[in-house]
Amino acid sequence: MILVSTHDLPRAGALRTALSEAGFEVELVTPDERLDRQDAALLLALTGGLEGGAEGLVRQARRILEVPVVAWAPWRGGSVPEVAEVFAPSSSVDEVALVGGRLAERTRLQRVTGIVGATDAMQEVLERVVQIAPVSSTVLVTGESGTGKELVARGIHLLSPRRHKPFIAVNVAALPDTLLESELFGHEKGAFTGAIDSRKGLFELAESGTIFLDEIGEMPLATQTKLLRVLEQREFLRVGGEKPRRIDVRIVAATNQDLRDLVRTREFRQDLYYRLNVLHISLPPLRERRADIPLLVRQFSRELAERVGRPFPGITDEAMEILARHSWPGNVRELRNLVESMVVLAPGSPIQPRDIPAEIQRGDAGGGSRLLPVPIPRAAEQGGAGDLRPQLEFIFRTLVEMRVDIDDLRKDFEAWRDDVPRMGGSEVGVLSKGLPADPGDSGAGLWPDAPILDPDDEVEPGAPDGVVVYRDGMTMEDLEREAITAALRAVGGNRRKAAERLEIGERTLYRKIKKFGLDQ
């Protein structure tokens, strides 16, 4: 109901007609009328200026009814009352009715949902809810845990044409991955072990209404794909079903995570993010709207006192100042829990600073939070991979590729082994011209055209034919010594020609001859 003053009867009559056509119940009030809290008013509209008894109506509307006030004339003296909007005398009736209607809807939204806030940030949130509620577009609500995302979703539903249809809230994070799909879309008889009968899912139960998907960022990728089809085609398949089912459901999703980060780490589908983020509402944390804390305390204390049946003596200004300084990492939920404890444990007198828990008193002594909530990337799996998932995936792919390479090398080796005659024992022919080595390197290479020797052949190391034989226990230095000896014997001790055969420098050959004691 909207209250319209009779300061200017023609204007009052015209405004009542315009607001009635917009669907509001309107009641005229005289300038000296006493307003009662039982009136259930949503707005007070003044039609004849802000003087002549208007101050009393404004004061009652703000302090008793707790509703906004609009005035159809500029203020011409005295102290300026708390007026939400002042219209010039030349403003049209339709303009006043439009703005007044939105303010009334905002007030009604606050009452039906419990959303309380007079700061600009919260007024913007409420305005957004009023604007998007009449349509059926998908809405994404973001904000820290405890900021009231579900209240916003319920407000969207209650102000929409679907208000008389079901509103179903689903906490995606609370359902196991194996049951989430069945809970959302239902299942057919015999679809899995234990499915003794067909069952409707939450989407079917919310037909023509609204479904609220909280913690949407925790949804598995497989279920995200099916949700995307619901958004695009407005149809789905039950688990184990074959016939698509059409639905008419508005989806409101919420998350306390940054879905864009999840999209970048491939934990959330990019196309689903764009389909969900058609309309977006961002809820500010309580530490960014500290001016709303006294309003919230009064609202919660009144509700909780009625619930527990105990009078609440109130709270002192000093205690309220302590509450306003706290950072409230748990946001509105944490504040409500504290108010409930104060209502239950009230000492019979107004709450003093000493009655407030010690952690609240010392948490923000410097006027700012020392420990503010920091968003933490969620674990990709229940194993707790967290933000290490991309690195683990890279390591896994690398190991798989290495395994493939090793298998290929094993096949090549087996093919080579089949082409080479088998040899018994522990002796293998090494080379026929000596062991070439890089200058300064003590290791030796193998000539590709070296003959394969039978271990039964009687060949002595350093024989005149220049063949070197490997036997168990020989080291690379032993092989190098035998190769140099064979090369020197083959060229009659000519060190330059021996160096050319071994493809090493003469100085390197001289150094190795001295090292192995081959000067003789």
Q: What is the pLDDT of residue 108?
A: 83
Q: Half-sphere exposure (CA, 13 Å, Cβ side) for 473? A: 0
Give dist(CA 100, CA 87) in Å, integer: 11
Tell me the CATH number for domain 120-189+197-282: 3.40.50.300
What pTM was computed for the model? 0.62
- Sheet strands (E) in 69-138: 69-71, 85-86
Q: What is the pLDDT of residue 84?
A: 81
Question: Which helix (DSSP H) or strand (DSSP E) does residue 5 occupy?
Answer: strand 2-5
Q: Which CATH architecture has domain 286-363?
A: Orthogonal Bundle (1.10)
Closest Cα to residue 231, out of 278, 266, 263? Answer: 278
Overall average pLDDT of the 6-34 stretch: 88
Degrees to nearest 5, angle at CA 72 with 67 and 77:
90
Give dist(CA 232, CA 173) in Å, integer: 23
* 11 phi/psi in degrees, rounded to 5: -65, -40
Whose structure tokens read 């259930």?
40
Where does the pLDDT of residue 384 fall: very low under 50, low under 70, confident under 90, or very high at 90 and above?
very low
Give dist(CA 180, CA 265) in Å, integer: 22
Topology (CATH level 3) of domain 2-113: Rossmann fold (3.40.50)
Closest Cα to residue 212, out of 150, 121, 159? Answer: 150
> For 436-487, what is each residue's pLDDT tens digit?
444 344 333 333 444 444 444 444 444 445 567 777 778 888 888 888 888 8
- Highest mean pLDDT among 203-207, 385-389, 419-423 belongs to 203-207
Of 65-69, 178-182, 431-435, 503-507, the range with the lowest mean pLDDT is: 431-435
Q: What token pair was written down for 47?
A: 């039609």
Of 342-356, 378-392, 429-443, the range with the lowest mean pLDDT is: 429-443
Give dist(CA 298, CA 335) in Å, integer: 11
Between 275 and 90, the more confident residue is: 275
Q: What token pair was written down for 339?
A: 């108010």
The answer to whether 211 and 231 have CB atoms below 8 angstroms apart is no
> For 388-439, what is each residue's pLDDT tens digit?
555 666 676 677 667 767 877 777 777 766 665 544 444 444 443 444 444 3
Give dist(CA 402, CA 76) in Å, integer: 84
Angle between helices 93-113 and 9-21 (to 10 degrees): 60
Between 113 and 306, the more confident residue is: 306
